[in-house]
A and B are shown apart, each in its own frame.
Chain A
Amino acid sequence: MTVTRVAEYEELNRLLQQAGRSDQQAFAELYRHTSSKLFGVCLRMLRDRGAAEEVLQEVYITVWNRAASFDAAKASAITWLTTLSRNKAIDRLRQHREELPDDPRTLEEAIDEQPSPAAQAQTSQEHRRLTDCLDALEPQQRSSVREAFFTGATYNELATRCQVPLGTMKSWIRRSLMQLRTCLDS
């Protein structure tokens, strides 16, 4: 992690803690620093601007109401915020599954969404470690994991998209998760 990134993350931790003490200025500042990232997360999963806006709104309302429970010792503010956004977006996907636009992309296309080397240079040490571990997986399994993370698709949806039986998808993902845990925790 670069020095700038560490400073930036610490600033976010501070802002979130202040928001937890009902500091509206800090909350507004936190929004300015993080809303583009979190909107990107929502948009990527929901593929619909209106829905992403609604979820983003829900996310920040929850942030304001729950910021007091944020513990910087357990997770960084950015992890806390991203987790909250992904959870809200996935909940939304599960509620409105029938409204989702059809996803014509195949898993092969999804692989192309890996960051460019330049973008990768900007990412953290943790990210590089994770991608190294992902690279050790079978290509199909790696893309299934990435697709699952970025789109919030269920096992069923992944199996359909990938045209494999549900059981196969489940074992791909589960095996991948176990391999990742071993790789990351080593």
Chain B
Amino acid sequence: MNTPADEGNHNLRYAEYVLGVLDADARAEVAHEVRTSGEAATAVALWQRRLQPLAEEITEVAPAPYVWARIHDALQLDAPPRAVPRKRLWDNLALWHWLGLGASAVAVALLLVVALPRRVAAPPPTTAAVAYMASTIKQDNGTTGWTATMDLQHARMVVVPAAPATLAQGRAPELWLIPAGQKPIAVGMISRDQPTTLTLAPALLAQLGPTAALAVSVEPPGGSPTGQPTGPVIAKGAIGAAPEAGGDKVAGTARGQTERTRA
């Protein structure tokens, strides 16, 4: 008996495929046809257009954030997993290298520019200086060993090597904070060849100020075993609250740098 269902059965297989009722083997056959025959591909596309609007009824459900992280990892994408945040100047390594070579006045002038909204031509108000402090940590021979910049708001310090002296094998530089008239407080181990970011504990943060100093001593790689410097102090620097010095020329240079790093 010829039922209506028997007629055009071939075309109906494409409809059944789109609807999703075929078993694994029959599905694989149609999928293969779709890949190898233009006619099959067109027939399937036509059925998709007919039936797909039903999918509009499906309620949206937000997937967990780690799903995107997994996709991101699996594809080895470069961009950060979440909405790409605008790269902050603070996080820019090139800037820190550049900063490491300059005097702290330059560093401070730059930070003033950073701390302010872009395109502010007027001299920065003094309140902007409060968020950052800087220190040029000079070695005994007068050359700058490191430049340290402290972000008070985020309780962190970035220490950038400029031209630190070579240390003996198996020794490493450790950074100390020395409040006026008090014992040194360990800040952390720093690197001789790349910027180090250190978190500032609240106790440490409270001691930061124009009367305190930073010092670097030579210690075992894991740091001083006693909690106080055990090796020679090789560099020292005063901590400056960001002054208004620096001038337009420096600020101008810094702004140029800002534009480039944001580009």
Contact = CB atoms under 8 A, between A and B. Distances in A.
B68 A83 contact: no
Contact of A61 (B49, B50, B57, B75): B75
B233 to A, nearest CB: 48
B245 interface: no
Interface residues of A, number: 62
Interface string A167-184: 000110111011011001
Contacts of A149: 19-20, 51, 54
Interface in A21-74: 24-25, 27-28, 31-32, 35-37, 39-41, 43-44, 52-53, 56-57, 60-61, 64, 74
A166 B125 CA distance: 81
B62 A83 contact: no
Interface string B77-90: 11100011000000
Contacts of B58: 37, 40-41, 44, 150
Contacts of A86: 20, 55
B23 A174 contact: no
B20 A25 contact: no
Q: Is the interface of B mostly helix, strand, loop or mixed?
A: helix
B43 to A, nearest CB: 11
Nearest to B60: A36
B19 A124 contact: no
Contacts of A83: 48, 52
B19 A40 contact: no
A148 B21 contact: yes
Contacts of A3: none
B71 A37 contact: no
Contacts of B53: 123-124, 126-127, 129-130
A108 B55 CA distance: 19
Contact of A177 (B12, B52, B60, B83): B12
Interface in A138-168: 145-146, 148-150, 152-156, 158
A106 interface: no
Contact of B20 (A52, A123, A152): A152
Given A158-B21, A175-B4, A119 B57 contact: yes
B206 interface: no
Nearest to A127: B53
B8 interface: yes
Q: Is the interface of A mostly helix, strand, loop or mixed?
A: helix
Nearest to A38: B63
B205 interface: no
A170 B3 CA distance: 12
Contact of B57 (A123, A129, A177): A123
A124 B54 CA distance: 10
Nearest to A59: B71
B22 interface: yes
B8 A178 contact: yes
B56 A124 contact: yes
Top 6 nearest A-B pairs by Cβ distance?
A36-B60, A174-B5, A127-B53, A94-B24, A39-B63, A126-B53
Interface of B: 3-5, 8-9, 12, 15-16, 19-24, 27, 45, 48-64, 67-68, 70-71, 74-75, 77-79, 83-84
29 contacts: A27-B77, A28-B79, A28-B84, A31-B71, A39-B61, A39-B62, A39-B63, A40-B60, A40-B61, A43-B61, A56-B67, A57-B70, A61-B71, A64-B71, A75-B45, A79-B48, A79-B49, A83-B52, A124-B53, A130-B51, A148-B20, A149-B51, A153-B21, A154-B21, A170-B5, A174-B9, A175-B4, A178-B4, A178-B5
Given A28-B79, A123-B53, A184-B50, 8 more contacts: A25-B79, A57-B70, A61-B74, A74-B45, A94-B24, A130-B51, A148-B19, A178-B12
